[in-house]
Amino acid sequence: MKVVSYLDVEARPVEAKGAIDVTKRVLISEDDGAKNFRMRCFEVGPGGATPYHQHPWEHEAFILEGEGACVDQGKAERPVGPGDAVFVPPNEWHSFVNKSESTLRFLCLIPSQEV
């Protein structure tokens, strides 16, 4: 069993094209023996956003803190806040945008074989 606070995991800048003020902490991964899916914690600063992009794998996200929006396939903005679960199906265009003056923090899990 592994128990770790997200605060004790290094936050690394996300440098993908289109990412604005985003960091990622990998909380559970293949390195722990997790063969099926991977838990990451993202933080997006005020005015920041994850890239508007698509990929063949799904996201399962959960908003921990902050107020923001998920931009969907049609570029509609879906408001999100603490306690919201978000499922992004494979191949759907999406972005997480911070709409507040404080950090938007969320978990985002993906299948382990993906990036």
* 84 sits near its own copies (criterion: CB under 8 A): yes
Q: Binding string to its own copies for residues 28 to 47, with x set by CB under 8 A, is what?
A: x---xxxxxx-x-x------
Give yes or no for a contact between 51 and 94, defined as CB atoms under 8 angstroms apart: no
Tokens of 71: 């931009």
Choices 10-18, 24-32, 43-51, 96-104; region in contact with its own copies by CB under 8 A: 24-32
* 51 sits near its own copies (criterion: CB under 8 A): no
* 115 sits near its own copies (criterion: CB under 8 A): no
At position 14, the amino acid (one-letter code) is V
Distance of CA 102 to the CA centre of its chain: 16
> What DSSP state is assigned to residue 67?
-
* 64 sits near its own copies (criterion: CB under 8 A): yes
